[in-house]
Structure 1
Amino acid sequence: MIEFVYGKVDFIDTQYIVLETSNIGYQIYCANPFEYQANQEEMVKVYTYQHVREDILRLYGFKTRQERALFEKLLNVSGIGPKGALAVLATGQPDHVIKAIEEEDEAFLVKFPGVGKKTARQMILDLKGKLDDFAPHLFESRSIDESETLTPKEQLNSGALDEAVEALKALGYVDREINRVLPTLREEDTTTDQYIKMALQLIMNR
């Protein structure tokens, strides 16, 4: 098994990134490839999981070992494959997923693509009580509360962008479409309404 790949971010797609190391480009599927937008042409370490089937061989990448471990736990649930496990991790809030499993909140779990009531129930049956070790240190590199480092104005703008993202989802836009325009939106300092208008223009033009 390949524990991790350390290389330069050469290319970012909607489903994967390409890391170049020793003149070899590794295609690595990620929950949110655009997380690496700020690292374009930079060296990064990506922890990997190698998925092998008769007709496919793929690498899946994660920011931390804990994130990868949760991915592997999800794969053990009947009805969830790599694509479904990535969709769960794509929220960027695994602690909410763990809480939903522990509290048997099926209504929350069925919001994920490909997760119906039967699969949600299976997640609870298979994983409840087995994820306690993940909650305290998931995403160690992201454990610092970003709001503590922002000025009041920056916090206000961050809240406006979050509201805009929720509004776009309510309009029917999926995470993949929204994530493609987020880097551009983050460069702006404006209101919720303006973020929404900008996002709609960007999505329509791509």
Structure 2
Amino acid sequence: MIGRLTGLVAAKQPPEILIDVAGVGYEVQCSMQSFYALGEIGAKAVLHTHLVVREDAHLLFGFVTKEERALFRQLIKANGVGPKLALAILSNMTVGQFVQAVHHNDMSTLVKLPGVGKKTAERLLVEMRDKLKDFGEQAFVGLAMPELAMAPQEAAMDPKDDALAALIALGYKQSQAETVVKKVAKADMNSEAIIRDALKAML
């Protein structure tokens, strides 16, 4: 099991990053919360990771904080929640926001998440309420992510296309993603800024 990576950010293509660890490149899928918090290309990065082994692939997921990884691990244990959906949830909410939603039985917030319908939201509220007790009732409430470290825009890539691809990878329908990207994107914004504003606009 790969539990942590410490290296340099070699490439960033939301929601995936490539980390160079002593000459070995690890492709890591991150929640957008963690993706935002990483530095620009060439910066040192530390990610707490979770490896998902499938018959056709080994998928590595990375998080800036241990708390976010812990919640990811609890989410994928819930009925009907796989790694992709868990990553989408954590891309749209901080750990503290999710914990508060569960504690307050806030279904209206959960159903706005991509891939979360009414039945899935109901299951999450029931199953996660018990799982969050293991963390301690106040463990994650109000927990904020680190300050966002926005990477400079790369001229060779269209930030709107990058943002659109990232939103689709996170579970949003293409038509929905195209509409919101068109709405929030401005000429001077890089892909990370567009994704950040798009996620806010869809909640």
TM-score between both structures, scaled by the size of structure 2: 0.67
Shift of 1:137: 4.6
1:85 aligns with 2:86: yes
> What residue in structure 1 maps to residue 180 of structure 2?
173
Aligned partners of 1:3 and 1:10: how far apart in 2? 19
- Radius of gyration: which is bigger? 1
> What residue in structure 2 maps to residue 44 of structure 1?
45
> What residue in structure 1 maps to residue 97 of structure 2?
96
> What residue in structure 1 maps to residue 57 of structure 2?
56
Shift of 1:181: 4.9
> What residue in structure 2 maps to residue 162 of structure 1?
none
> What residue in structure 2 maps to residue 20 of structure 1?
20
Instruction: Give the conservation status (yes or no) of the 8 Å contact 1:9–1:18.
Output: yes
Residue correspondence of structure 1 range 66-85 to structure 2 within 5 A: 66-85=67-86
Aligned partners of 2:125 and 2:140: how far apart in 1? 21
SS at match of 1:60: strand
SS at match of 2:50: strand
Aligned partners of 2:142 and 2:26: how far apart in 1? 23
**Residues 106 and 81 (structure 1 numbering): CA distance in 2 closer, same or farther, change over 3 Å?**
same
Task: Tell me the C-alpha RMSD between the 2 structures.
Answer: 3.3
Count of aligned residue pairs for this structure pair? 161
Shift of 1:92: 4.5
Shift of 1:38: 3.1
**Residues 123 and 140 (structure 1 numbering): CA distance in 2 closer, same or farther, change over 3 Å?**
closer
For residues 14-48 of structure 1, give each alpha carbon's deviation from its aligned partner in whole angstroms, at most 9, with x where no partner exists. Answer: 22000001211000000116415633201111110
Instruction: Give the conservation status (yes or no) of the 8 Å contact 2:37–2:146.
Output: no
Instruction: Give the conservation status (yes or no) of the 8 Å contact 2:92–2:113.
Output: no
Which structure 1 segments of 5+ residues have no match? 147-168, 186-194, 196-206
Which structure 2 segments of 5+ residues have no match? 149-175, 198-203
TM-score between both structures, scaled by the size of structure 1: 0.67
- Kindly provide the amino acid, as one letter, of the partner of residue 90 in structure 2: L
SS at match of 1:111: coil
Larger RCO: Structure 1 or Structure 2 (Cα < 8 Å, ≥ 6 residues apart)?
2
Aligned partners of 1:107 and 1:172: how far apart in 2? 22
Query: Which deviates further from its counterpart, 2-11 or 85-94?
Result: 85-94
Instruction: Give the conservation status (yes or no) of the 8 Å contact 2:100–2:141.
Output: no
**Residues 140 and 96 (structure 1 numbering): CA distance in 2 closer, same or farther, change over 3 Å?**
closer
